[in-house]
């Protein structure tokens, strides 16, 4: 079923088709295609919101994957980065994007949505969390 309703732009107040509306970079309101273009054209290259930075990152991942010997590429890894030595895994609490970076890099914002809701990814099992919380409850009493 196509989205056919009309919505008011949260930025300029113009009415646009629902299927053309997108969230602004902060994710706080829906804006029309004209405001999207204005907002995105004002972004400086190299910032976390920059399309060119994402494009460079994707191209770098494709080159890395192409140079790896056959059979060593990980399947199902959405970031293209391996979780090898010297790498730390992260997850964005806002958009749930999973990625990895070198351990010595400062990670302040999510490379996908740009928000500063990044946490180290938990690499254990769910059962470990359950056992740990049970032990913590036992220690309280």
How do residues 109-123 score in pLDDT, each as one tens digit?
A: 888 888 888 999 888
Residues 33 and 41: beta-carbon distance below 8 Å: no
pLDDT at 40: 78
**pLDDT at residue 29 is higher than 60:** yes
Give CA separation, 46 vs 90, 108, 124, in Å: 20, 14, 34
The token duo for 134 is: 């049970």
Task: Say yes or no to pLDDT of 45 above 70.
Answer: no
Over pLDDT 70: what percentage of the chain?
Answer: 67
Instruction: Flag the least confident range among 6-10, 36-40, 50-54, 126-130.
Output: 50-54
Question: Mind listing the pLDDT tens digit for each residue in 47-99?
Answer: 555 445 555 566 667 666 666 555 444 444 444 444 457 899 999 988 989 99
Residue 22 has pLDDT above 70, yes or no: yes
Q: State mean pLDDT over 13-42.
A: 85
How high is the pLDDT of residue 138? Answer: 80
């Amino acid at each position: 079923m196509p989205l056919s309703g009309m919505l008011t732009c949260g930025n300029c107040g113009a009415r646009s088709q629902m299927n053309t509306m997108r969230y602004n970079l902060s994710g706080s309101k829906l804006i029309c295609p004209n405001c999207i273009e204005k907002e995105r054209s004002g972004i400086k290259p190299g910032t976390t919101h920059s399309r060119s930075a994402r494009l460079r990152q994707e191209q770098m991942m494709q080159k890395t994957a192409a140079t790896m010997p056959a059979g060593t590429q990980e399947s199902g890894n959405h970031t293209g980065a391996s979780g090898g030595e010297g790498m730390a895994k992260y997850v964005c609490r806002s958009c749930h994007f999973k990625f990895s970076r070198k351990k010595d890099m400062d990670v302040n914002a999510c490379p996908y949505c740009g928000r500063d809701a990044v946490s180290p990814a938990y690499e254990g099992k769910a059962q470990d969390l359950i056992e740990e919380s049970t032990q913590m409850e036992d220690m309280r009493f």
